[in-house]
Amino acid sequence: MKISFIIGTRPELIKVAPVIAAVRKSNINFDVVNTAQHKDLLDPYWSTFAIEPTHVLDVMVPGQSLASLTARALSQIQAYLDNVPERPSVILAQGDTTTVMAASMVSFYNNIKFAHLEAGLRSFDFENPFPEEYNRRIASISAQYHFCPTHISKANLERERVDKDKIYVVGNTVVDSLLSISKPESFVSSSWKNSDLEKLKKFTDSVLVTCHRRENQGPNLRSIIEAISNLAKENPEIAFVWTMHPNPKVRQVVLDSELSEFNNIILVKPLEYIDILKLLKVSICAISDSGGIQEEAPSFKTPVIVMRETTERPEGVDAGVAFLVGSDKSRIRDKFNQLVRTPIDFGINPYGDGNASQIIIEILRES
């Protein structure tokens, strides 16, 4: 067996890294292909997980359309297959990016088994998130292995008449990653990688804020900025750490806004993974449109105010630890104030126990 891991973004690496670690222990031959879809965000994370890509592609061109990105990803993943000395028997990719969709299509065209990590997530709305909902449905069509994080995602695939023998509920590998990084006793006490976060010592509490999705650009982003500004004004003892996405349609709007005028709003560049996890650990809540944050926060018993109208990760909502508010400033404010007044109870982590990666490798070896 040979497995090719196709990775293009930071969340993909975070969730695939523990599977790669499990493969190393199993002495299975593998390649790690970096499509560099989010090169600047992804590059610092390779050393975090002690992984070196065996092949690096170049799918990004400034200002390109989604169609152009898809075309480049398809052609370059195909070129990798055409030139590698030994073709893989399995191609594995995680999630719902253009990299994942292209990897699934190239797998199908070349009669190579495709393993979809984090399969079966659905928002049932092609506009939210766009284009991710479309991407993951295409990946599901091609997959021979559907590695679902929960029984809800399994049920979604069964409703789409996916062969039940190809569906496996394994848990979410993001739990595997964060548990391995946060396990050492020095996790919280160690210095912040980003020195700007040392400012947190001046405040009684902190809140992690992230915003990057296409549906939250334009007027929605302005509403979110106003919401965070109002919360900062009303809660001067709390630090709001806003990690800025490099997309200029988000980053520049944030930088040009009133957010920089507040002493308790800390605008930072994309953070290293350990800083993100530490922030989740020490924060009273997260305010985010990120799918990864929704999955990571329950491990630290941190509630998430989700700035989306729908989510393909309903497990946190069903468990009462994540709350959909969209981009409406009043709904964001009301939910924040409710969480501050009334802390919530956390039960079993709806996203798994940290053993997903080993289960995945056992399935691949036995099939």
Helices (H), the chain: 10-26, 39-48, 66-83, 98-109, 132-142, 151-159, 173-182, 186-189, 219-234, 248-255, 273-282, 291-296, 314-318, 329-341, 356-366
Q: Count CA within 13 A, CB hemisphere, residue 167.
A: 22
The C-alpha atoms of residue 231 and residue 235 are separated, in whole angstroms, by: 6
Per-residue pLDDT at 364: 96
Tokens representing residue 87 in the block: 């073709």
Tell me which CATH homologous superfamily contains domain 2-172+352-366: Glycogen Phosphorylase B; (3.40.50.2000)
> What is residue 198's DSSP assignment?
G
The C-alpha atoms of residue 13 and residue 7 are separated, in whole angstroms, by: 6
Q: Which of 105, 87, 172, 174 is nearest to 143 (CA)?
A: 105
Q: For the chain, report the end-to-end CA distance as a whole number of angstroms.
A: 10
Give SS3 for 40.
helix
Q: In degrees rounded to 5, what are phi and psi of residue 227? A: -65, -45
- What's the Rg (C-alpha) of the chain? 20
Tokens representing residue 289 in the block: 């449109």
Tell me which CATH homologous superfamily contains domain 186-341: Glycogen Phosphorylase B; (3.40.50.2000)
> What is residue 166's DSSP assignment?
G
The single-letter code of the amino acid at 254 is V
Tokens representing residue 199 in the block: 């400012």
Per-residue pLDDT at 38: 87
The C-alpha atoms of residue 222 and residue 233 are separated, in whole angstroms, by: 17
Per-residue pLDDT at 217: 86
The C-alpha atoms of residue 6 and residue 184 are separated, in whole angstroms, by: 29
How far, CA to CA in Å, does 188 sit from each of 183, 192, 220, 273, 278?
10, 9, 34, 13, 6
The single-letter code of the amino acid at 214 is R
pTM for this entry: 0.86
Per-residue pLDDT at 131: 94
The C-alpha atoms of residue 181 and residue 97 are separated, in whole angstroms, by: 25
| Torsional sign, CA 358, 364, 366, 367 | positive
Query: pLDDT 10s per residue in the chain (367 long)?
Result: 999 999 999 999 999 999 999 999 998 999 999 999 988 888 888 998 999 999 999 999 988 999 999 999 999 999 999 999 999 999 999 999 999 999 999 999 999 999 999 999 999 999 988 999 999 999 999 999 999 999 999 999 999 999 999 999 999 999 999 999 998 878 888 899 999 999 999 999 999 999 988 888 899 999 999 999 999 999 999 999 999 987 788 889 999 999 999 999 999 999 989 999 999 999 999 999 998 999 999 999 999 999 999 999 999 999 999 999 999 999 999 999 999 999 888 988 999 999 999 999 999 999 8
Q: In degrees rounded to 5, what are phi and psi of residue 166? A: -100, 0
Tokens representing residue 294 in the block: 């929704």
Per-residue pLDDT at 214: 82
81 CB-contact burial (10 Å; exposed 0-12 / middle 13-18 / buried 19+): middle
Catalytic residues: 96, 118, 132, 212, 214, 245
Considering the chain, tell me which residue range(s) the CATH 3.40.50.2000 domain(s) occupy: 2-172+352-366, 186-341
The C-alpha atoms of residue 176 and residue 223 are separated, in whole angstroms, by: 35
Q: Which of 235, 225, 227 is nearest to 264 (CA)?
A: 235
DSSP string, 136-151: HHHHHHH-SEEEESSH
The C-alpha atoms of residue 88 and residue 361 are separated, in whole angstroms, by: 15
How far, CA to CA in Å, does 14 sit from each of 20, 175, 248, 364?
11, 10, 24, 20
Give SS3 for 209.
strand
Tokens representing residue 26 in the block: 């199993």
Per-residue pLDDT at 282: 94
